Chain A
């Protein structure tokens, strides 16, 4: 694949920031994008500020790039500050507004929306008593399937 304007997304896909599960988060939230992608965010909150944040799930490189940049940016921020992040700020963080690729816009909005849902949840209910766990990765049946087809 030749280098293109999304090269930085590709680089972040190979080497994402903060993409991991978290032990003992204070709040989690799993978002689902309209395309079917799912992303779970894990937050540690201290004194109303984001002490740590991570995410994991099944999502595209565009969402991954957006999640990488946003999570890096909001560490240490107050929840209300996170809730106030608007699209122009998001585009600045991501480095692209996708104005000529609008059908992928939801990919970059998706992580911030999911993070905001988690922040709202925390503001309303405080720490999760039973934080959600990431669903076990979907098993890949390709070997089994290929064997059925007689392909090694």
Chain B
């Protein structure tokens, strides 16, 4: 397959034409949300213009078309991560997907004293649901620590072996660290535990095969992988989803609703109460088409190239403290850092004056900042439309802001 042609790719992203404060937009915040190619935008417009009707209801033409498009998107997404379509549940985002497991599997199968394992590098959405569940059930939450380099040391792995449920981020949104989740799944299964992987920062960037990873659940979100906001995905192994109680109750998730009791629908519909986000799902399907066309191996190769270049360039900034593994192969395209004497929010604010969109703060991951003893941080994150030239333009601007502030 041909390598990624970044200039050609950029032409598909209308927002990259924008000027911010008189400067061309340099978007380095794809870890928060990616930009959307015209193909995704058009798929949503086409859906509303030509096919809009409620899914799985009625037999008229539009309803049939809408249902087919919705289910076609489910098949595409399933294939993308090597799952079966009935193992794909649509949610509004990854947070809801993670909460779904806590509220259904957790509520049904976690009891007093049961060990739950997670790590200190989780996003809040992969941390708080377990904190709350542990409190509610009087279960015991053990949190895997990290090394100074931002990796989970082998000495912490026994927490996974002991746990009835492990929830772990595939790639950290602060450190970039790619966790060895295949190995973690093996450890989790040694004592019949289950493992949920938060793939919000991995699926957009690296090829993911849930069967190969052998994880029990896998959550991710559409908007970080070129898709629209409001659409997330939970993959679950069929046998687990079948024995879990529903999440929300209402239309679609029930096949027989009687005063004396109800019979739940088959999976995945059992977990999709109410009218779903049809346009969002179809938009995510278009995003998957786009990524498939580029090839995920090429997406990763492009990101590695940027990572290597940006890591080297950032470290040339005097005193800059960069977090996470030093080997680009161990991380995805996020680079989080601090510059002594310069607040990350000021840096982000003043970089915006030059058209650079960079993130600042805790990135919804306060515990990892506290574990490393670091202040709120600045973060740049890449995707398929970023270029080396943008990195080259970034560094002198950071130096300029720093000079002005000291």
Please tell me if the beta carbons of A36 and B346 are within 8 angstroms of each other in the complex. no
Given A61-B405, A138-B373, are A1 and B366 neighbors across the interface (CB < 8 Å)?
A: no
Chain B residues 324-349 with CB under 8 Å of chain A are 326, 338, 340, 343, 345-346, 349
Q: State the majority secondary structure of interface residues on A.
A: loop
Which of B267-315 touch A at CB < 8 Å? 315
A1-17 interface with B by 8 A CB criterion: 1-2, 4, 6, 10, 13-14
Q: Is the CB of B375 within 8 A of A61?
A: no
* Separation of A60 and B378 alpha carbons in the complex (Å): 13
Q: Say yes or no for B360: interface residue by CB 8 A criterion.
A: yes
B400 part of interface (Cβ distance < 8 Å) = yes
Q: How many A-B residue pairs have CB under 8 A?
A: 69
Which of A23-31, A70-78, A80-88, A139-147 participates in binding chain B? A139-147
B349, A145: Cβ atoms closer than 8 Å: no
B1 at the interface (CB under 8 A from A): no
A135 to chain B, nearest CB (A): 10
CA distance A139 to B374 in the complex (A): 8
Whether B343 lies near A59 (C-beta < 8 A) is yes
| Complex Cα–Cα for A106 and B243 (A) | 47
Contact B361 A140, beta carbon cutoff 8 Å = no
Q: Please name the 4 residue pairs, one residue from A and one from B, whose CB atoms are nearest each other, closest first.
A: A36-B376, A1-B404, A60-B343, A142-B321
Q: Please list the residues of chain B having a beta carbon within 8 angstroms of any beta carbon in chain A.
A: 148-149, 315, 319-322, 326, 338, 340, 343, 345-346, 349-350, 353, 360-362, 366, 369, 373-376, 400-401, 403-406
Beyond A60-B343, A62-B349, 4 additional pairs, beta carbon < 8 A: A1-B350, A10-B405, A58-B343, A149-B326
Can you report 25 A-B residue pairs in the complex whose CB atoms are below 8 A from each other? A1-B353, A1-B400, A1-B403, A1-B404, A2-B353, A6-B350, A10-B404, A13-B346, A14-B405, A14-B406, A35-B362, A36-B361, A37-B345, A58-B343, A60-B346, A60-B349, A61-B343, A104-B345, A104-B349, A140-B321, A141-B148, A142-B319, A142-B321, A148-B149, A149-B315
